[in-house]
Amino acid sequence: MFCFQCEEASKGFGCTTKGVCGKHSRTAHLQDLLVYLLKGLAVVAEEAARQGKPDPGVGRFVAEALFVTITNANFDDARLEARIQAIIARRDALKAAIGYSSDLDAVNWTGAPDQYEAKALVVGVLSQVNEDVRSLHELLVYGLKGMAAYTDHAAVLGFEKSELYDFMVAALAASLTESDIQSLIGWVLKCGEFGVTAMALLDEANTTTYGHPEITTVNLGVRHNPGILISGHDLKDMEELLKQTEGTGIDVYTHSEMLPAHYYPAFKKYAHFVGNYGGAWWEQDKEFASFNGPILMTTNCITPVKDSYRDRIFTTGQAGWPGARHIADRPEGGAKDFSPLIERAKTCAPPTELEQGEIVGGFAHAQVMALADKVIEAVKSGAIKRFVVMGGCDGRHKQRSYYTDVARALPREAVILTAGCAKYRYNKLDLGDIGGIPRLLDAGQCNDSYSLAYIALKLKEAFGLDDINELPISYDIAWYEQKAIIVLLALLHLGVKHIRLGPTLPAFLSPNVAKVLIENFDIKPIGEVEEDVRAMMAAA
């Protein structure tokens, strides 16, 4: 196997025997083949659209399939094999419908599951021998994976845009057929542009359906009822679980990236929606053991399941773990059936308390804009000298303590804007406030990074600036998986420069591709805490 799609790629190079994430070589191979064949389907879908006979569902189908291959989403080989078969079937049906033939192997290859690994070995990431072309192909595909997650979340809530699907299909096809460096750079930058559209669509879907996040205090302790823990990013699953558990005597807790569900008005009415349990995704093995009740993984960020909670873990949507019970998709017009979790919870002890206290969040764009006068005044008076965007992901690397140290070391006149699970490195610190504005403003999930861009654009307007880089905002972003890549490309599209990216730069950037990003956007690796804080406060 060879995989280097996430920040934890072994030795900063790539995982070659087993993933640091726990992915086995067969799973990695199945994912490689899945992506390869999906590119073949994209080529056929493009041709069908050219002929005026588009496959109407192909965009959503491609998005779901890409989402499955995001880091820590799905480790279930049987489901990956079924997905590969579905891709081949859809591709061949479409080919037949439009009478299309091609010399491209990805458009023609077909085989049985026992041939999948052998095929993957010759079509995986390293099959592209030119390291710059390979780097750009992968950067594009990882951006598309992130975009796929966003469009899938929006689609679940009934919000779709054909222009996004069309771009995803076209870009995926280009990642197979295009090898000109300049053209590929163009595709990557375009991916950022569509990334902004995808993030805006998801923001619209979430806020139209559940209201605008508002300032919320979230409890970190536990009560004495049995509980269900819900993790991942899917708010529709959150809604249906809350409805189905109401009145059952079971409490519902969020884990990791589901924490921001508490900020939505629509979920505040549930008295049994009691708090957040634990920290970021990578600490789940200990936390799931002590939670004592069933756990629902709605999207990515599953780590290898331990015996201590194996019989209590459930997956749904694109998430999967071999042997874990999978809650089936909702039937047309209906809801998912979470009764297996509810029945299981009734037999479980209440959660063991990990901590006490509260955290405050809910500073997505509408809430921050409601405070805009106060914020602008604080900037003008010098009470706030700098905003530091520290959004993104958390992960296992020891080096990520850098972000805790930066949060501590920033002077009192600095406000941190965050989104994503990166916040768990500093959201339990007492950072205080500036004239009533908390020094840590959490907009929500990584899926809500759009809010951070939106706030920056609104501040640019309010201060009458021409260039987003003239704002008193620095970017010190932590990345882990592919959703962070689409956020990064979206920020580049918005013209944001001087981003610090850590804890390490992506292994999939070849030296030449890294050079392009550095020369055009001044992207830089993180450095020493004191030096970075000093530089950011000095707008460098």
Residue 488: which of 458, 515, 442, 524 has the closest Cα?
Answer: 524
15 is in an annotated binding site: yes
Q: Which residues lie below 8 Å from residue 291, measured CB to CB, with a gap of 6+?
A: 227, 229, 253, 277, 278, 309, 312, 351, 352
Nearer to ligand SF4, 71 or 74 (CB): 71
- Of 19, 279, 392, 420, the one binding ligand SF4 by CB under 6 A: 19
Question: Of ligand FSO, ligand SF4, none, which one sits near residue 446, judging by CB under 5 to 8 A according to partner kind?
Answer: ligand FSO
Q: Locate all alpha helices (DSSP H) within 350-497, ordered by sequence.
A: 365-370, 372-381, 401-409, 449-462, 482-493
Nearer to ligand FSO, 252 or 484 (CB): 484
Find the helix or strand (DSSP H, E) in which 94 lies: helix 77-98
Residue 21 contacts ligand SF4 per CB under 6 A: yes
Q: In the complex, which residue's CB is closest to ligand SF4? A: 19
Residue 15 contacts ligand SF4 per CB under 6 A: yes
**Distances from the Cα of 43 to the Cα of 146, 148, 397, 398, angstroms:** 20, 17, 38, 42
- Of 8, 138, 234, 237, the one binding ligand SF4 by CB under 6 A: 8
Find the helix or strand (DSSP H, E) in which 418 lies: strand 414-418
21 is in an annotated binding site: yes
Residue 506: which of 392, 418, 409, 402 has the closest Cα?
Answer: 392
Q: Shortest Cβ distance from residue 280 to ligand FSO (Å)?
A: 7
Region for residue 232 given its phi and psi (left: phi exceeds 0; alpha: psi -120 to 50; beta: otherwise): left
Q: In degrees to the nearest 10, what's the CA dihedral of 6, 7, 11, 12? A: 100
Residue 51: which of 94, 20, 8, 6 has the closest Cα?
Answer: 94
Question: Of ligand FSO, ligand SF4, none, which one sits near residue 20, judging by CB under 5 to 8 A according to partner kind?
Answer: ligand SF4
Residue 5 contacts ligand SF4 per CB under 6 A: yes
What is the end-to-end Cα distance of the chain in Å, rounded? 40
Token pair listed for 151: 């469009």
Burial of 163-172, coded b for 16+ CB within 10 Å and e otherwise, reads: ebbbbbbbbb
Nearer to ligand FSO, 66 or 421 (CB): 421
Q: How many residues bind ligand SF4 (CB under 6 A)?
A: 13
Nearer to ligand SF4, 6 or 252 (CB): 6
The residues that touch ligand FSO, with contacts defined as CB under 6 A, are: 256-257, 281, 300-301, 393, 420-421, 445-446, 480-481, 483-484
Nearer to ligand FSO, 253 or 281 (CB): 281
446 is in an annotated binding site: yes
> Which of the ranges 2-10, 37-45, 168-176, 337-345 carries the binding residues for ligand SF4, by CB under 6 A?
2-10
6 is in an annotated binding site: yes
Question: Of ligand SF4, ligand FSO, none, which one sits near residue 237, judging by CB under 5 to 8 A according to partner kind?
Answer: none
Residue 280: which of 254, 304, 314, 298 has the closest Cα?
Answer: 254
Nearer to ligand SF4, 387 or 480 (CB): 480
Q: Binding site residues for hybrid [4Fe-2O-2S] cluster, as ranges?
A: 233, 257, 301, 393, 421, 446, 481, 483
Contact set with ligand SF4 (CB under 6 A): 3-6, 8-9, 15, 19-21, 23, 28, 71
Q: Binding site residues for [2Fe-2S] cluster, as ranges?
A: 3, 6, 15, 21
